[in-house]
Amino acid sequence: MADLPKSVTIFDETMREGLQIEDKDIPVAQKLRLLDALGETGVQLINIGSFGSPKWCPQMANIDEVAESFIPKPGVIYTASTFNPRGLERVQKYYPKINNSNVRYRTRWDLSDTFLKRNFNVTTEQEIARWPDAIKRAKEEGETIGRVQVGSPWGCNFEGDIPQERVMRALQMQIDLWHENGFKVTTATFADATGWNMPHRVRRTLEAVREKWPEITEIECHFHNTRGVAMASYYEALQVGAQIFSTCLGGMGGCPYCGNGRAAGLPPTEDFVNLCEEMGIETGLKLDKLIEAVAIAEEIVGHPLWGHVSKAGPLPRGEKIYPKDLPFIETLEEAAHFRKGPSVYAHQTAPWKEYPDSPIAKALTGRS
């Protein structure tokens, strides 16, 4: 087992994964407002959207306007999703404002033929045929490191379970091709869009990859929370030393092609940051800024999101510990007292007026 990473990189996908399943008529001004709020949180990587056909993803029809208009925050790398050579050409005109180097020099293989066709409109043969183009770009642009990706690494809603042997074979084929062209492979991405990740399978696969390819020093996880276990799967990935994790504010996200729609959101950014920080893993993100960004996202999309820390707040410590005479807290609006103050519960009933200190409790707990 690898040591826990000292720090992790959060790849926030709110603007792409989150908004691609929401109302197609969200104005550009509101998208820019949300993107600006995200940039204030300390997140290192932000996906601003996807350069795909508006016929298949009308929510991204105004991506060029977003790309042209947003003001980058210092220290943030902005990227965008592309699905074919045309998309790569479109996004390149915004370089270096949008830096897609993390995907320009990457080969990928989605192990579900069905989902690959539904999601990218290509066959397995066509996807593999693109690998030499990625390697050619890397050579032409002076890159020395290759990246590999496996999609649907544990299963697919349309084809069922996918055995680990196929995952290892898909990685081996990609790595061999990079090696043959003089590249070292240091990053492996596992993209589970249909939510088949289960903690024990994630751990087993990542441990096998670590053992077989020691040169892979960076593992990236993009797991959808379709069955409610992605956070547990991320925890197991942390135990194996994974360092890059995709999330969305409030657990937004979803895929129109996987059969689960908005039920296939990503783990909430704020919840995962809270988990990491409580485990002593640095994220560089500010929870209070994340929670405010969630509130903005809820306003923009017009419905509550699904995160927990944004509703209950982080663990209260020091001056933020709850007052002992806190009244009943029942609604989500009242639960927001941690950021909105006592006015949200002023109407509620307090169960008791006095809370005497217990000598026995003090003796047992060592409290002074």
Tokens, residue 103? 């995907």
Q: Residue 274: its pLDDT value, please? A: 98
Q: Residue 361: its pLDDT value, please? A: 64
Q: Residue 251: its pLDDT value, please? A: 97
Q: 106, 127 in Cβ contact below 8 A?
A: no
Spatial separation of the C-alpha atoms in residues 96 and 73, rounded to whole Å: 13
The residue among 197, 190, 186, 243 whose CA lies nearest residue 2 is: 243
Other C-beta atoms closer than 10 Å to the C-beta of 355 total: 9
Q: Residue 358: its pLDDT value, please? A: 73
Spatial separation of the C-alpha atoms in residues 135 and 173, rounded to whole Å: 14
- DSSP for 56-93 reads T-GGGTTHHHHHHH--PPTT-EEEEEE-SHHHHHHHHT
Other C-beta atoms closer than 10 Å to the C-beta of 363 total: 9
Q: Residue 359: its pLDDT value, please? A: 76
Taking the model in full, what pTM does it have? Answer: 0.93
183: Cβ contacts below 8 Å, ≥ 6 apart = 135, 138, 143, 144, 145, 146
Q: Residue 350: its pLDDT value, please? A: 84
Integer angstrom CA distances of residue 329 from 195, 231, 295, 349: 34, 27, 19, 9
Q: Residue 367: its pLDDT value, please? A: 64
Q: Residue 267: its pLDDT value, please? A: 98
Regions of the chain with pLDDT less than 50: none
Break the chain into its structural domains and give their ranges: 9-312, 318-368
Which superfamily does CATH assign the domain made up of 9-312 to? Aldolase class I (3.20.20.70)
Model pLDDT for residues 27-67, shown as the tens digit of each residue: 999 999 999 999 999 999 999 998 888 888 889 889 999 99
Q: 94, 67 in Cβ contact below 8 A?
A: yes
Integer angstrom CA distances of residue 82 from 150, 306, 353: 16, 27, 60
Model pLDDT for residues 159-186, shown as the tens digit of each residue: 999 999 999 999 999 999 999 999 999 9
Spatial separation of the C-alpha atoms in residues 316 and 225, rounded to whole Å: 27
